[in-house]
Each structure stands twice: as structure tokens, then as C-alpha cells.
Homo-oligomer: A and B are copies of this chain.
């Protein structure tokens, strides 16, 4: 990937060298103050769904680089959508801005927008499909915490059936020589079509129902939310949710250097008592979102 003037639609457009280049650049750039290299540039946030964190981290990245941001939020976007096609809205914004960040409920929306727009388009989530800048943030956090990705033992915990994490993070991760544990209750196991795709790659992947069995081996636990709505029976939900909760008690069974990640927001998958430990990395992970997006914006628009 050449980055400069590119669209960022899918993690499938990134090979391992592209990822490595971006992570290293994000680290390098976060350590020095650039003198507003994107001054005079305008980013358009076009959000057909609410996503405050993603929107604000792009906005923060652009502003810290000296650029400006214009925004269409989800209420405005849904009103526009009634009277105008996405293709037209994108071509109007192309006339105002230098880059478009798109969040849309429909899979493939970012790809379509990128085809219509002469200006670069960044996918900030297209339905249950992909959210590449979240994935890059997650990879960056793993790499920063462990100084490598190769040879790590990483558990992904929670709802692996409906959560976008499987598509977004586990697939690219499976291209590395890592050991991945997919840990979920029976009802929320990864779908077989995804399992097939992951198993084509280099990683060693195994499914587990129990975190306890393997926690002492792990370098990273990536926790995701288990949604109550997925369960017909509330008691069943509560049993499962309690079972997969991270607290200080279970952390004692892991290595001292075990790191806990979470894409946030959390409900009660991680007990607040964990926040103060050295294991908790989810707020750093959130802050890393600004670093990765800054690096991307700079590589696409500047440099």
C-alpha cells in the first residue's frame, strides 16, 4: 500500500509490511511534535450511525495535526439520506474537504463511497463488516505492550458470533505466527465460515469455553462485551456473563505481564478494580486510537 492519497476500506488491503510501517510510524510520530503538517486541510466526518469515540478520535487526530474538521452527525445524516443518495452526499463533501471519514450501517458502504469520491475515503465502520482503524489501533496496542506480535499467545474473549472483533481483529492477527484462543460460551462461538478463513493462515487457533484452563499461558486477553439481548433466558445470560468477567481474582492466575484489552465501552465484563492494575491497558488502547489515526491521516494527506 502506498498510503499517499489512498482509501482505507478494508484490512485486506494491508499486508504485514504495510501494518508494520504504519505501527512504527505511529510510534515515531507520537513522540515528536509535528508543526501542524496538515494545516489548511479539511476532514469531513460523515456518520450515518452514532459513534462518539470513533468520531472524536479522528477529530482529535486531525486537529492535533493542524487540520480542520467538518461533521455530519447521525441525526443530520439520516435526514440527508431521506433526500439524497450516499453517492451524491459524498460528491458534495468531496467539493468541501480533502478526506472523508465514513461510518455507515451497511456493509460495503465505504467501498462504494471510495469509488464515487476522488478524495480519499476512510472506513470508520461499515455495518458488521469492518472497522480497519479500530483493528490497527488494537494491533498497535499489542505491539507497543509486547514489543512484537510474533509468538504471542492471545485470547479473544466473549461474543465471537455477533461481535465485529472476529472479522476485524482476529483475521489480520491470524496472519502472524501467534497462538489465538477463541474463548466464548457455546452459544456465542465463532461462525464456521470465519473459522475456516482464519485457519487458512499462519496462526495456531483453538476454541475454548474456559479462560481458567489457559490463562497462565497468555500474553494478552482481548475482552469483548456479551450482550444480554443474545440470550432468551436472563438467568442463562447472567451465568455466562459472570463466568467471563475479568477481576483481580482471575488475574492472579495469569502472568504478571498479562495485558487486558477491550474496545470499550465496557459494561461489567471487566471489574473496575482491574483499572488500577498494571494489566489494564484498555484506556491506553483507546488513546492509541488517536495515534494510529494521526499516522494514517498524515501518511494519506501529508508527507
Contact = CB atoms under 8 A, between A and B. Distances in A.
A144 B238 CA distance: 61
Given A50-B79, A283-B95, A63 B57 contact: no
A242 interface: no
A112 interface: no
Nearest to A93: B56
* Size class of the A contact interface (CB-based, 8 Å): 35 or more
Interface in A42-86: 42, 44, 50, 52-53, 56-57, 59-60, 63-64, 68, 70, 72-73, 75-76, 79-80, 83-84
A61 to B, nearest CB: 9
A32 interface: no
Contacts of A93: 56
Report copies per complex: 3
A194 interface: no
Contacts of A68: 60, 63-64
B64 A50 contact: no
Nearest to A265: B84
A284 interface: yes
Contact of A60 (B63, B97, B286): B97
A208 B301 CA distance: 49
Contact of A283 (B79, B91, B272): B91
A284 B95 contact: yes
A250 interface: no
A231 interface: no
A92 interface: yes
A140 B193 CA distance: 55
A33 interface: yes
Q: Which of A44, A75, A80, A95 has the most CB of B within 10 A?
A: A95
Given A40-B64, A64-B40, A88 B266 contact: yes
A226 interface: no
A234 interface: no
Contacts of A289: 95
Interface of A: 33, 36, 39-40, 42, 44, 50, 52-53, 56-57, 59-60, 63-64, 68, 70, 72-73, 75-76, 79-80, 83-84, 87-88, 91-97, 264-267, 272, 283-284, 286-287, 289-290
Nearest 10 interchain pairs by C-beta: A95-B287, A63-B68, A84-B265, A60-B96, A83-B265, A91-B283, A56-B70, A92-B286, A95-B286, A52-B76
